A and B are shown apart, each in its own frame.
Chain A
Amino acid sequence: MLGADAIVRCLEEEGVEYVFGYPGVAICPFYNSILDSSIQTILIRTEQNAAHAASGLARVSGKVGVCAVTSGPGATNVITGIATAFADSIPLVCITGQVNSALLGSDVFQEADITGAVESFVKYSYLVKNVNDIPRIFKEAFHIANTGRKGPVLIDVPIDIQNAELKKFVYPETVSMRTYKPTVRGNMAQIKKVVAELDKAKKPIICAGGGVLLSDAEEELRAFSKKHKIPVVSTMMGIGAMPTKDPLYFGMVGNNGKPYANRAMNESDLLIMVGARVADRAVSQPDLITENKVLVHIDVDPAEIGKNVGPTIPLVGDAKHIFEDLTAQEMVCDHEEWLETLAGYRESMAPKRNPNPEYVDPAVFITKLSEKMQDDAIYVADVGQNQIWSCGYHIVKDGRFLTSGGMGTMGYSIPAAMGAKLADKSKQAVAVCGDGSFQMSMMELATMNQHDIPVKIVVLKNNYLGMVRQYQHFTYKDNYSVVDLSGSPDLEKLAAAYNMDFLRLTNMENVDEAIDKFLAEDKSMIMECIINPMDLV
């Protein structure tokens, strides 16, 4: 058995169904071996999107997403995708081909020191030097990627190692790593302290981050919140941890969040932050969430606790287990008054918009779209104004909301929606992007077409890089610089060129019919919505 065959066997052992990638000479042995496997290969049109697609798949399936690209430029192109996954703690295994190991370090054709280059964006990386290490390395890589605080792992495999003969293939049943042992269960003494504080609290609140979704703890969070009537807000990455319409849910916090969500968090006397980094966009003034309140910080990564704010009670562990343990504890929680206050804030502080009737109003459109989408649909927001509108107006029922929150990588939505769709073909997958972010990934229309991946794409078109234009509006007094998107393609013709259906919505007149038509069939489609170029989020 060759090294390349062994890699494919490892992926089979891990239950991998799809590999997203782009071949080149240095990864050709692997792509030759995979022909004999039932694993499906998806030829992405640029390597960055291989990682994004793997990320979409990972987030919906809970399994590790896999991509495989060639050495040199293939490997360096995938870095943005890896960094995006790292910022959002998404489990990936990225396989990169590498030049012959005897030539490493001599700057030969298509050589790049990829393990060195990705060092600050991966949870771990390997450069395979001995073909017999392949089973152990892959076992470890999948384990590291999908345990503890999840994240991408890169495996760089020189072509001679892929072509070398393996003595014997034995896939290890367990991982024996001397150094890597993440804490999963929360410390009981700390949990008891949280319970004691909850007993006393008059105004408790939970702020759910992406960690809740990563540990598949939505049910446990909802059960705990419901049992003790504790209100919940979320970060951008935590959207979907609670259904949007749940009476106990009070929206997204942060400088792009709901004013009433921030007020709820700031006025609470007990704040339980879970699976959230307390980063600048979610909490711009960390002192507001530590003053006059007890801060409980739950995270599987001990380094996140105390990084941006010093908590009163640190609690290291996996959100799922910790909510199970918390729900099992008895406590007195009586704060009807607090819930009434928050409901009042939600009513009185709801943001008001004055849409221009000559255009599609993205807020109303997104709400209508998400109401008409299937309950378990996957909504992928891109980056820019579209992302902020999506966060503000998308209604999560029983589905998922995906976006690049940490890195804010434009072009994420289309490839991620493709990966999400492949993870569960029974679900609707809708990518919502702007005309800027669409053009960063529009080459993937070919991938959808080739591999029959029915993703719905909404393009909110305003002919501007809207988020930057908005920033220049406020910061540089409308002195617009390099934000005009003139020259963009005619999307109707583009859709036709890729054999896709197309719809254009220019105002709100026929919005219901248009959305119904857009969602009717399980096939890929582009819907262009003409929005007010001067609109602000």
Chain B
Amino acid sequence: MQKKVFQLLVDNTSGVLSRISGLFSRRGYNIESITAGTTADPRFTRITIVASGDDEILDQIEKQVAKLVDVRDIKELRPDNSVYRELALVKVRTNEVQRQGVISIADIFRAKIIDVSADSLIVELTGNQEKIEAFLNLLGGYEILELARTGIAGLGRGTENVTYL
């Protein structure tokens, strides 16, 4: 099993996201995360998909997605040539004693405390997936009440291979 990050540029039509996710489910492809948002040109949406499978499956994913009428472009975001970011919101149970410990870990990761209550904190962290995993590992000694992750968004580096709208 390998993992690949695909970047899609699609027509911003109603149902486009369900067409793409439907393709993954009916063909039995594994989707690890999917994020979508409009581009600078509101006619288009950029979608980042993290998919896993063997080489043939990943090749089929690329071709089958490319075949969808709404899809203008699909390309792989190769790790050596791209940046990926994910946002995580973590709600941790903290009493007065624990609070400072969580804040210290957050500081090391340049995470932000965005909500404080008497018995909890919400931490906001942006980074690649490894950074978020590492952060969550360090919080292992605390009780994580709720976790919300966005899945990654990514872009290729430089001006090569830019799909102009």
CB distance from B31 to the nearest CB of A (A): 16
Q: Mark B35-76, 1 if CB is under 8 A from A, else 0.
A: 000000001000000000000100110011011011110000
From B10, B67, B70, contact of A301 by CB (8 A)? B67
Give the distance in Å from the alpha carbon of A115 to the alpha carbon of B66 in the complex. 20
Question: Does A505 interact with chain B (Cβ within 8 Å)?
Answer: no
Contact-size category for B = 20 to 34
| A510 close to chain B: CB less than 8 A | no
Considering residues A127, A302, A303, which has the most beta carbons from chain B within 10 angstroms of its beta carbon? Answer: A303
Stretch at the interface among B11-19, B79-87, B90-98, B143-151: B11-19
- Residues B22 and A120 in contact, CB atoms below 8 Å apart: yes
0/1 string, A108-134, CB within 8 A of B gives 1: 000000011001100110010000000
One digit per residue, 1 when the CB lies within 8 angstroms of any chain B CB and 0 when it does not, for chain A 165-189 equals: 0000000000001111000000000
CB closest chain-A residue, reference B59: A306
Provide the residues of chain B in CB contact with A120, threshold 8 Å.
Answer: 22, 26
Kindly list chain B residues whose C-beta atoms are within 8 Å of the C-beta of A119.
Answer: 18-19, 22
A 284-316 contacts with B by CB, 8 A: 301-303, 306-307, 310
The yes or no answer to A144 lying at the interface (CB within 8 A) is yes
Interface residues of B in 2-36 (CB under 8 A from A): 10-11, 14-15, 18-19, 22, 26
In the complex, what's the smallest C-beta–C-beta distance from B73 to chain A, in angstroms? Answer: 8
Taking the nearest CB of chain B, how far is it from the CB of A121, in angstroms? 10
Expressed in whole angstroms, the Cα–Cα distance for A385 and B26 within the complex equals 30
Whether A144 pairs with B67 at a CB distance below 8 angstroms is no
Q: How far is the CB of B8 from chain A (nearest CB, A)?
A: 11
Report whether A115 and B15 are in contact in the complex, using a CB–CB cutoff of 8 Å: yes
Does A303 contact B56, Cβ atoms closer than 8 Å? no
Residues from chain A with a CB closer than 8 A to the CB of B14 are 127
B22 near A303 with CB under 8 A, answer no
Say whether B71 contacts A179, CB under 8 Å.
Answer: yes
CB <8 Å contact, A144 and B69:
yes
Expressed in whole angstroms, the minimum distance between the Cβ of A155 and any Cβ of chain B is 13
Are B69 and A179 in touch, CB under 8 angstroms? yes
CA distance A303 to B23 in the complex (A): 13
| Chain B residues, Cβ within 8 Å of A303 | 60, 63-64, 66-67
A179-B60 contact, Cβ under 8 Å, with A119-B19, A120-B26: no
Q: Point out the residue from B11, B18, B26 that lies within 8 Å of A179, measured CB to CB.
A: B11
A123 engages B69 (CB within 8 Å): yes
Contacts of A177 in B (CB 8 A): 69
Which chain A residue has the least Cβ–Cβ distance from B26? A120
Listed residue (A115, A127, A180) with the most chain B CB atoms within 10 angstroms of its CB: A180
- Beyond contacts A119-B18, A302-B67, A303-B63: 15 other A-B pairs, Cβ-Cβ < 8 A, are A116-B15, A116-B18, A119-B22, A177-B69, A178-B11, A178-B43, A179-B10, A179-B69, A179-B71, A180-B69, A301-B67, A302-B63, A303-B60, A306-B60, A310-B56
15 A–B pairs (Cβ distance < 8 Å), ordered by A: A116-B15, A116-B18, A119-B22, A123-B69, A177-B69, A178-B11, A178-B43, A178-B72, A179-B10, A179-B11, A180-B69, A302-B67, A303-B63, A303-B66, A306-B63
**8 tightest CB-CB pairs across the interface, nearest first?**
A303-B63, A179-B72, A124-B69, A180-B69, A120-B26, A303-B64, A303-B67, A119-B22
User: CB within 8 Å of A: which residues of B?
Assistant: 10-11, 14-15, 18-19, 22, 26, 43, 56, 59-60, 63-64, 66-67, 69-72
Binding site for B on A (CB under 8 A): 115-116, 119-120, 123-124, 127, 144, 177-180, 301-303, 306-307, 310
